[in-house]
């Protein structure tokens, strides 16, 4: 039973992470055109890094 609770907790955390990814991608689309390549790349790199 404890293993099932841990799996459920992991799924909740994963869902929150996906929500953050979608939200961040929406924000990256709204960056100013002149700043978009650098800012979007840096933001996404920070989001997807495993540190």
Predicted confidence (pLDDT) per residue in 14-32, tens digit: 999 999 999 999 999 999 9
> Could you tell me the residue ranges of all domains in the chain?
2-48
Q: What is the 3-state secondary structure (H, E, C) of 14-35?
A: HHHHHHHHHHHHHHHHCCCCCC
Kindly state the tokens that stand for 33: 């055109």
Please tell me which residue, 10 or 2, carries the higher pLDDT value.
10
* Mean pLDDT of all residues in 6-11: 80
């Amino acid at each position: 039973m404890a293993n099932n609770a841990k799996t459920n907790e992991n799924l909740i955390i994963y869902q929150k992470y996906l929500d953050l990814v979608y939200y961040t991608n929406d924000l990256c689309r709204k960056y100013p055109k002149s700043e978009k390549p650098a800012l979007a790349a840096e933001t996404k790199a920070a989001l997807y890094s495993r540190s």
